[in-house]
Structure 1
């Protein structure tokens, strides 16, 4: 039976049974503590000082760099301005680094991105996140903020953290994380238009917090355009959608008339998100949602997977949609695909070659993994990314992003089918 939506409610994300606590000294000298919340799993800061509207950005930045967190007691909008000022300090290039860069590249040409540049970029991002994550807010037991000019954040926090715990108690999280929650809530309210789903207003997908937004539409267009494998006349075309996320690929395939579809994901947030999207798009009766790692039982004529594209360690749950450490999901899909393909079936692997341009994985490795899994390449559809970073020359990885290609690899069991000519749409 399809996993139909329950009556309207706010789902409770999968969270630890107990939270660590953060401790500080209140302005009156009393010891205080609260439960610590961090989506990326950061440990609770050990040094916490009070901060308010009199705290300067220079002071806050210096304390944060030294590992001291600032628990904010002032006006909420002033806290946001302080965070923005700290971000500008994080992003400013020190004079000594500017001189070193000028000496290394006197002709001002941008050096090609590679594995070293990628890892340095990730390290810089992690350092920036650590520093900016040091501005903290205290939340009431009902997930509200008792600060001047504080917005209503209760719904956004409840969607991300679950309903307030029965035992009550305050909690503390970073302002940066809260801004991520409220931004995700806006995505969830407005949605993402997916042209491959047809004409408005019935072509929007609504991402939940912690579920990757399908903002890059080129890979969705590939799934909408690729030729379907042939089923016997009048017979159904069963489909597996591996790692469904928002459910967008299942929705596109359902609109193409295939099915029944079984969509899998390990993340309960993703399954709740997919359930809502498939329901509001009117295709939930054609899709069964299943919480499992990779494949459901049985075989299908079409097995689709859009794994994370970069083989690197994720630093937060939402990054698992981008980073696949050791290519675990990619290799798991390839190694299990042949056993789950019905005769004459196809596996569609949607993958960017950005990792190849960054020196993180070679094309030869990918082709070897396909061959070792007992698979053959039946064809490939290619497209150029349309996202803003592809044309942003100031992006640290611009030289790799500028030549990135997203592909839909059509794979079959090598014992049953032989490779055909690679095709690229115009």
Structure 2
């Protein structure tokens, strides 16, 4: 019989408290001890999972009660707990922020919370903050991690303030924090010494072994097998752009394409690689085209191939950064502008303030496709939208979706498992 795994949801009062740092340090440290660790990210996110995957050595999937769904989340957790010694879930924003929130996920699966407190500018007040986090919901609290602890005396003051709640771990102020930029952390592949940083964080994390051993391993309740996905893309090849400019890809999206029967291949526009000649459809996911505008504008083979694919009627899904990269041009915050392939008439402008954020659902002929949006750019275009997503949970108008011939373009990031039938339609000629 499966013994299960220690399961913890790592949460905090807000963003910026150190959830990702603590989760990564804990995962790396446990892996180095010979533990099998699986990590999940709560809520829509592409960047944190890449760092957490580097820390634990296993694919990091998304858990979200609305976008992913209750039963799909339960299935993911059960599979992980059967395969691992420890399952860590990094929360999103503050513990109670959002609808659904990380606290909702904790309660849905009876997973205890590990509260991260940025103790850099507090001491005894940590106890009040932690008790508020526990009691407001309430949630089951496994313990506390105090981040940015200055000294042993500081640690003792924080521990005494908790009134019996275990201080599970502490992490001192980091000399080398994880590097960030406008959409979040810098991608792990772009940080030369990322593994050294993760090892340093794991070394600096002081874990109370007695408090850790007190967390009992467990398994989520049994669930029924999922319904098989029909092979609607059998015999088709979907070419996916994947490089530093096109990197926002849910692993579950690739799984769904393969479950639909598609052969998935990858190519790099940034390396001026053409759309593969055997492609039956193309997916241009989001990423950082704004950081690579000049290289993309010079990539003549890539630009010619995507224009030819569009002219030839190949289904093309261009999401967020992918849409930016097929507009007429991208202009950065300094006013520099670079030309793109112009499949979508219109110009993209980077801006300082956030232009779109949150969960949304896109209506399709096969029902709602769930996903999210997160971008700092705007598209100026005269093209009339074919549809709009709806914001969750308000139902207000969300991101526009544009269709020009075989091109589907939008700032909306689709979560393919939420609607495999609609996914198949996106990559089927004439289906739109």
Calculate the TM-score normalised by the size of structure 2. 0.27
More helix by share: 1
More strand by share: 2
Calculate the TM-score normalised by the size of structure 1. 0.27
